[in-house]
């Protein structure tokens, strides 16, 4: 207090209006504690250390009790405010809302060129089907894109619903040549995945090991014959190097469904969790596409099944 009074000796504090006149009405009307203790301390100080007048002391006391209320109000208004995303329902800080919208819900399309495009590979040369990365960073299940510009019927389309809506909107706006980044990335596709012919003897061995029953094995063989009749690959592996534990397979599907618009569907296997995923079935529920993908993986990489499935185990989904 002595150092503070010495520093205020030549200040113009008495000539300045009291801080309470600058505060809002709500703050100036707050009840203040009686400044008797501070007045008594000031009266006990020597005159050398306290050359200020009585009016200055009262103003100092008023300031000492008014400033904490201002600081408390600043802290109250400075608290972090959370808000909810209207698209995904995520609760996040207000300062991070703009970055979240740009990263997760932005409609900006990728500027595609030679050094910046989505990885893609041809999975079916007969119908012009390609597997393209869904996004340019991290792992995500690829998408099927068709670009067939030969023969009687020409088809250029992406299986994603948002890309189809984007193309329809562009056509209505007079931009008939506007395409999504998945289709535009096909200009830089230079690779065709090689098909591995799945052997029926391997499938029968899986039946003996009780991976699935004879009915599912017969369904796999029927799907294989249907693929051979239409001259398309039954199952091919697609690897873009996004994850070492996620393995993707593009499997033939003869019928058109809501989850399969282009005649093929992706099946993914998580090697760490030993789980299979297909868009046509719920988790832990078997389907023909999962059975075919298991058939392919058991023939090409059998070591993944040695520690997961013992000989005495029942059917696995």
- Tens digit of each residue's pLDDT (9 = 90 or more) over 140-165: 889 999 998 888 888 888 998 888 88
201 & 304 share domain: yes
For 13-30, the pLDDT digits (tens) are 445 454 444 444 444 444
pLDDT value, residue 33? 47
Cβ–Cβ < 8 Å for 173, 158: no
99 & 51 share domain: no
Q: How many domains, the chain?
A: 4
pLDDT value, residue 299? 95
210 & 269 share domain: yes
**Cβ contacts of 236 within 8 Å, gap of 6 or more:** 123, 193, 194, 195, 196, 249, 250
Strands 129-132, 143-148: pairing is antiparallel
Report the C-alpha gap between 31 and 51 in whole angstroms: 30
Ranges in the chain, pLDDT < 50: 12-14, 16, 18-31, 33, 48-77, 108, 309-317
pLDDT value, residue 207? 94
Final residue in a domain of this structure, among 28, 57, 77: 77
pLDDT value, residue 172? 85
Final residue in a domain of this structure, among 145, 176, 192: 192
Residue of 256, 260, 277 lying closest to 141 (CA atoms): 277
213 & 184 share domain: no
Show the beta-strand stretches assigned E in 162-286. 235-238, 246-252, 264-270, 275-278
Burial track 108-120 (b if 16+ CB lie within 10 A, e otherwise): eeeebeeeebbbb
177 & 224 share domain: no
Report the C-alpha gap between 138 and 87 in whole angstroms: 22
pLDDT value, residue 229? 94
- Distances in Å between the Cα of 112 and the Cα atoms of 148, 157, 181, 187, 308 are 20, 17, 7, 9, 42
pLDDT value, residue 293? 95
95 & 127 share domain: no
223 & 277 share domain: yes
pLDDT value, residue 308? 55
pLDDT value, residue 106? 58
90 & 147 share domain: no
21 & 122 share domain: no
- pTM reported for the whole predicted model: 0.60
Final residue in a domain of this structure, among 138, 172, 192: 192
7 & 120 share domain: no
Report the C-alpha gap between 232 and 249 in whole angstroms: 14
14 & 96 share domain: no
Expressed as residue numbers, the domain containing 88 is 80-109
Report the C-alpha gap between 297 and 277 in whole angstroms: 14
132 & 148 share domain: yes
């Amino acid at each position: 207090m002595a150092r503070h009074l010495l520093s205020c000796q030549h200040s113009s504090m008495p000539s300045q209006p009291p801080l309470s006149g600058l505060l809002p009405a709500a703050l100036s009307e707050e009840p203040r504690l009686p400044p008797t203790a501070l007045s008594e301390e000031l009266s006990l100080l020597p005159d050398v250390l306290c050359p200020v007048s009585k009016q200055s002391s009262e103003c100092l006391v008023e300031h000492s009790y008014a400033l904490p209320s201002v600081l408390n109000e600043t802290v109250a208004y400075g608290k972090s405010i959370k808000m909810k995303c209207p698209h995904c329902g995520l609760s996040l800080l207000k300062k991070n809302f703009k970055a979240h919208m740009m990263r997760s819900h932005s409609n900006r399309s990728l500027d595609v060129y030679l050094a910046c495009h989505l990885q893609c590979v041809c999975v079916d040369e007969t119908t012009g089907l390609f597997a393209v990365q869904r996004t340019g960073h991290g792992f995500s299940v690829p998408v099927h894109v068709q670009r067939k510009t030969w023969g009687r019927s020409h088809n250029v389309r992406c299986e994603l619903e948002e890309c189809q809506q984007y193309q329809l909107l562009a056509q209505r706006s007079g931009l008939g040549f506007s395409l999504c980044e998945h289709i535009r990335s096909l200009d830089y596709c230079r690779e065709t995945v090689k098909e591995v012919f799945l052997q029926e003897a391997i499938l029968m061995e899986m039946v003996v090991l009780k991976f699935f029953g004879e009915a599912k094995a017969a369904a796999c063989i029927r799907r294989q014959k249907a693929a051979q009749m239409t001259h398309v690959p039954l199952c091919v592996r697609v690897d873009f190097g996004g994850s070492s534990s996620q393995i993707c397979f593009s499997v033939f599907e003869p019928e058109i469904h809501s989850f399969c618009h282009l005649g093929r569907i992706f099946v993914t296997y998580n090697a760490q969790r030993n789980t299979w995923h297909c868009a046509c079935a719920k988790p832990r529920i078997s389907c023909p596409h999962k059975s075919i993908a298991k058939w392919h993986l058991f023939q090409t990489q059998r070591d993944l099944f040695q520690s997961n499935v013992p000989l005495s185990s029942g059917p696995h989904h």
